[in-house]
Amino acid sequence: MTKPRTMLEIAGLEKSFGEVQVLKSIDLKVQEGELVFVIGPSGSGKSTMLRCCNRLEEPTSGSIFIDGQRITDIPHRDLDRMRLKVGMVFQGFNLYPQMSVLKNVMLAQVKALKRSKAEAEARALEMLDQVGLKHKAGAMPAELSGGQQQRVAIARALALDPQVMLFDEPTSALDPELVGSVLKVMKGLREKGMTMLVVSHEMQFAREAADRVVFMDQGYVAEQGTPEEIFGAPKSERLKTFLSRVSHGDVEAEAD
């Protein structure tokens, strides 16, 4: 048994917007095939951390490694290639409204990965099949439900064969009855061994599927551990308060 590979490593990550320091020295490792869950009050910097991992935000200092390669100092012209290795799923789906579902999934394959049209189409259909939406390939995004749109967005990221997938509250824009279909796809991904870093408040899902849970607060990783540790025996007061609020369905309450 070889030592597991570290797929994503965040070391001493700091990020400021102007005067405001949003991330204050974050350290986090995600092993190959691991699903790490990030929870924390709104405004604690979860999205910012995730967006630093593919450099949609430029870190102020610190390092991030993807599969051992430091991505925080690669030049801008190589960013696009790096981003192919890091899939990202957004809260608001961000499907391209003017293109069919199939075209959405094909675009980056053809333009960034330089796959042939035929190859990209085959791969797109395969991925759409994986998220249960092959029959919607010809539809336009506006014709889909939120849950379906989010699954297409997942397929769009997966089609590029990323090594890590980042999810930023993938279900929080969805009606409750549609959440399950997206979580099911994510569970399937985990069983296939995908490395995932997930920001979400689906605590039930975290209990079932997460290897580790990270609690972020005010720009720090305040606490981390197995789901049992975090949910069963929270140490800090802040985490206890947060969990009790979430269980009352009051996630956004602590936004400042």
Partner 1 sequence: MRFLETFFNGQVILNYLPDLVHAMGVTLGLAAATIVTGILCGAALACLRVAGLKVVNFFIIVFADIMRALPPLVLIMILFFGMSSLGLNLSGWTVIYIVLSLVLAAFSEEIFWGGLTSIPAGQWEAGRATGLSRAQTLFHITFPQAARRGIPPLVNRVLATTKLTALGSVIGVKEILSVSSSAQSFSGSATPLTMAAIAYLIIFIPAVILSHWIERRYHFAT
Q: Among 62, 70, 68, 112, which residue's Cα sits nearest to residue 87?
A: 112
Query: Closest approach of Cβ 28 to partner 1, in Å?
Result: 19
Q: Among 43, 36, 41, 33, which residue's Cα sits nearest to residue 10?
A: 36
Using CB under 8 A, which of 22, 28, 64, 157 touches partner 1?
A: 157
Residue span binding Mg ion (CB under 5 A) among the ranges 8-16, 42-50, 78-86, 242-250: 42-50
- 48 binds Mg ion, rule: CB under 5 A: no
Beta strands in the chain (DSSP E): 6-17, 20-31, 35-39, 61-66, 69-70, 86-89, 164-168, 195-199, 212-217, 220-225
Residue span binding Mg ion (CB under 5 A) among the ranges 39-47, 58-66, 76-84, 146-154: 39-47
DSSP of 152-185: HHHHHHHTT--SEEEEESTTTTS-HHHHHHHHHH
Q: Spell out, one character per residue from 106 to 135, where the chain touches partner 1: x when CB under 8 A holds, - when not.
A: -xx--xxx----------------------
Is 132 within 8 Å of 181 (Cβ atoms)?
Answer: yes
Torsion, Cα of 59, 163, 97, 174 (10° steps):
-90
CB atoms within 10 A of CB 189: 21
Measured from the CB atom, the residue of 45 and 234 that comes closer to partner 1 is: 45
Using CB under 5 A, which of 44, 47, 150, 171 touches Mg ion?
A: 47
Measured from the CB atom, the residue of 22 and 144 that comes closer to Mg ion is: 22
Residues that bind ligand ADP (CB under 6 A): 17, 22, 40, 42-48
Give Cα 174 distance to the centre of its chain: 16
Measured from the CB atom, the residue of 95 and 214 that comes closer to partner 1 is: 95
Site for partner 1 in 79-108 (CB under 8 A): 79-81, 83-84, 86-88, 90, 92-98, 107-108
Binder of residue 43, out of Mg ion, ligand ADP, partner 1, none (CB less than 5 to 8 A by kind):
ligand ADP
Q: Order the strands of the 6-17 sheet from edge to edge.
A: 20-31, 6-17, 61-66, 69-70
Interface residues with partner 1 (CB under 8 A)? 54, 56, 79-81, 83-84, 86-88, 90, 92-98, 107-108, 111-113, 153, 156-157, 160
Interface residues with Mg ion (CB under 5 A)? 47
